[in-house]
Amino acid sequence: MAIATYFQLLNQAILLDRKGRSAEAYDLVTEFEDKVVGNPAQMLNFRCCFASKLGRKELALGLMREAIDRGYWYGYDYLLEDDDLAPLRDSPEFKDLAEICREREAEAKRSSEPSLKIVKARSGQGRPRLLMALHGNGDSVAVIEDYWLPCVDQGYTLALPQSSQITFWGGFTWADLDKGRSEVSHHLRAIQEDTAFEPTDNIIAGFSGGAGLALLAVMNGDVTPGGLILVAPWLPDLDKWEKEIISLGGKGIEYWIICGDQDGDCLDGSKRLSSILEKAGARVRLDIVQELDHDFPVDFETRLSRVLKEFQH
């Protein structure tokens, strides 16, 4: 099985596991965990869960111990509630490791703050442009940066906010949407103080839950971009947002929505969002990518380059 990306690895492993092929899922993650750019703590967690489901308790505990020895941690409530880990919970070692996680989680949440990585445009030609890209829930800047980095060769400064809402080692979420909106707005104000980007030259983008937050921020006027790029947008509140989305139709914002035809969680929402925006008079491009699950397409760089050129005209 060919695996090219971190998200593809997780998606394929989950699919195998749902089909009752946990042993194959375990082998897949084991083979590719060092070959993709992603969160090593998450990949160890997947292996631990699959081993536990297979009844290989010592292997599962060994993987959890390896994660702890590396300095990783997982949410304490998750460890006590996830069904996959149920076979391990009577083990004294599991209880000890869970307690270490509880302590690390508390400290991480006390010290976690929003952060922002800036990559300056490589081309100095033309007026300054900004692309701000939000990571998905459970992800981080480190996981999604490479997908968006090519924009700097097209004259865009790349801004990569990381949420302060940490849920496990290296995993951040936008679950508190109001807090996420506040952080994104703060970052944009700070960027504007350094470089005066015109609103029409700003593009807000996001993957999965970050795409949902990007849309919400635009709906509420927290940001006023010229373009919005939504990759595999997670939109569980689309019904509640419909009226506000309709109001965006006359604001001159261009939209690119991209989603895989195998993305069972986000495909219907992507199609419906596109339909709402089109009926409201907005300019929308909807790309449905064949044989793609919840991930960026392998030719994302080419697609992004094309869309950025369209947004500039």
Q: Domains of the chain (ranges plus CATH)? A: 6-111 (1.25.40), 115-311 (3.40.50.1820)
Q: What is the DSSP string of 86-130?
A: GGGTT-HHHHHHHHHHHHHHHHHHHH---EEEEE--S---SS-EE
Using the structure block, give the residue that is written with the tokens 């001159």: 252
Q: What is the pLDDT of residue 1?
A: 57
Taking Cα atoms as reference points, which of 237, 296, 247 lies closest to residue 272? Answer: 237
Identify the DSSP state of 56. Answer: -
In this prediction, residue 282 carries a pLDDT of: 94
Q: Where is average pLDDT lowest: 48-57, 91-100, 115-124, 271-280?
A: 115-124
Q: How confident is the model at residue 37 (pLDDT cuts 50, 70, 90)?
A: very high
pTM for the whole structure: 0.95
Beta bridge partner(s), residue 259? 288
Q: Which residues contact 91 (CB under 8 A, 6 or more apart)?
A: 57, 61
- Answer yes or no: is pLDDT of 294 > 80: yes
Q: pLDDT band for 196, please (50, 70, 90 cuts).
A: confident
**Whole-angstrom Cα distance, residue 212 to residue 296?**
16
Residue 90, pLDDT > 90, answer: yes
What is the spatial order of strands in the sheet that 115-119 belongs to? 115-119, 156-162, 129-134, 202-207, 227-231, 254-260, 283-289
What pLDDT sits at residue 127? 78
